[in-house]
Homo-oligomer: A and B are copies of this chain.
Amino acid sequence: MILSLCGVRAPLDPSNADVDVVGIGNALVDVLSHESEEFIDSLGVSKGAMTLIDEERAGEIYDLTGPAVEISGGSAANTMVGVAAMGGRAEYLGKVRDDQLGHVFAHDIRATGVTYEVPLAAAGPATGCCLILVTPDAQRTMNTYLGASVHLGPDDVDEHRIARASVLYLEGYLFDPPEAQEAFRVAARYAHEAGRVVSATLSDGFCVERHHDAFLDLVENHVDLLFANEAEILALYGTDDFDVALSRVREHVEVAALTRSAKGSVVATADRVIEIPAEPIDELVDTTGAGDLYASGFLHGFSRGADLQDCGRLGSLAASEVISHLGARPEGDLAAQSAAVLGG
């Protein structure tokens, strides 16, 4: 069975797939603490963005933060956990060290039903972590020490694992570790050679600026389905006009899913633009993981052959769940909600 999804360049063919979505990203443990606006200012970091930090700086910031909670994170890892929570078959590739937090990461992702078989690094830097500072307005400001995740290289990207998944999902943050960019391209090649769909998220506006030309090449030449928020897509096309960016991206990818926070999302192909409203929520607690879980919902629907409207709706559903509590991974029963949308 070939599902022709609005003329996606690589038509989705789940008939010979053992996995729905395989994600690749920086494997991190999140360290979440509640902090004041003044504290964010005092660190000199951009509020709401992700700043890369080295081990020493991580120690300095950690010493200054309040009591924290440790929860497994990593953008694409969160997305794969969301896919599994919705009932999808997900696999994850990302590198941790053989240390306490590495075991926490491996335990948590496997416990959600995601396949995770990357060997833990026996030497080198510690498992990476992301110091996430949550301000009273529920915004998160992230400081990432990549640690062991920088050692994910092309050798860790097993051709068989890529080829057996309907959709490949790549996080833009992978452009920061030098070896990982190559892993990114190798994975995209394996996926296309196997007739799979390649999806990616731009992850962060500053990350797009740091690696602008590489991102543009990726989007123009390798990606079928692109996720981005407003800041990221504007950064990619060097414009401050969303409509300009939207028309550009529709020339470059088969499907673009652009999230706009409380305004919901826009799903666009060459010949359609669909506006998806955000799901109403009772209380906004922590926006960490909103984009990651939007991608979960969308990818789950997409890998099951849902129409793009329903893909977007599933994205909104999953995002609304994760922003209603602290942490970037779902706690609620997404499988039931997802089944209701998919009619399954």
For the complex formed, measure the closest distance between the CB of A135 and the CB atoms of chain B, giving whole angstroms: 15
Q: Nearest chain-B residue to A100 (Cβ)? A: B100
Q: Give this chain's copy count.
A: 2
Those of A321-344 within 8 Å (CB) of chain B: 327, 329, 331
Mask, A59-100, CB within 8 Å of B = 1, is 000110111111110000000010000000000000000011
User: Which residues of the partner chain B approach A127 to less than 8 Å between Cβ atoms?
Assistant: 100
Tell me which of B34, B67, B70, B112 contacts A69 (CB under 8 A).
B70
User: Which residues of the partner chain B approach A107 to less than 8 Å between Cβ atoms?
Assistant: 62-63, 65, 67-68
Complex Cα distance A81/B104, Å? 25
For the complex formed, measure the closest distance between the CB of A222 and the CB atoms of chain B, giving whole angstroms: 32
A72 and B81: CB pair below 8 A? no
For the complex formed, measure the closest distance between the CB of A10 and the CB atoms of chain B, giving whole angstroms: 32
User: Which residues of the partner chain B approach A68 to less than 8 Å between Cβ atoms?
Assistant: 104, 107-108, 111
Complex Cα distance A33/B70, Å? 13
Q: Does A126 contact B (CB under 8 A)?
A: yes
For the complex formed, measure the closest distance between the CB of A336 and the CB atoms of chain B, giving whole angstroms: 15
- Determine chain A's interface SS by DSSP, over half rule: mixed
For the complex formed, measure the closest distance between the CB of A27 and the CB atoms of chain B, giving whole angstroms: 14
Complex Cα distance A99/B98, Å? 13
Known A99-B100, A100-B100, A101-B100; contact A69-B69, beta-carbon cutoff 8 A = yes
Q: Nearest chain-B residue to A64 (Cβ)? A: B111
User: Which residues of the partner chain B approach A100 to less than 8 Å between Cβ atoms?
Assistant: 99-101, 126-127
User: Which residues of the partner chain B approach A81 to less than 8 Å between Cβ atoms?
Assistant: 67
B65 and A111: CB pair below 8 A? yes
Q: Which of A62, A72, A81, A104 has the most CB of B within 10 A?
A: A104
B72 and A71: CB pair below 8 A? no
Known A99-B100, A100-B126; contact A327-B66, beta-carbon cutoff 8 A = no
Residues of A within 8 A of B (CB): 33-34, 62-63, 65-72, 81, 99-101, 104, 107-109, 111-112, 126-127, 327, 329, 331
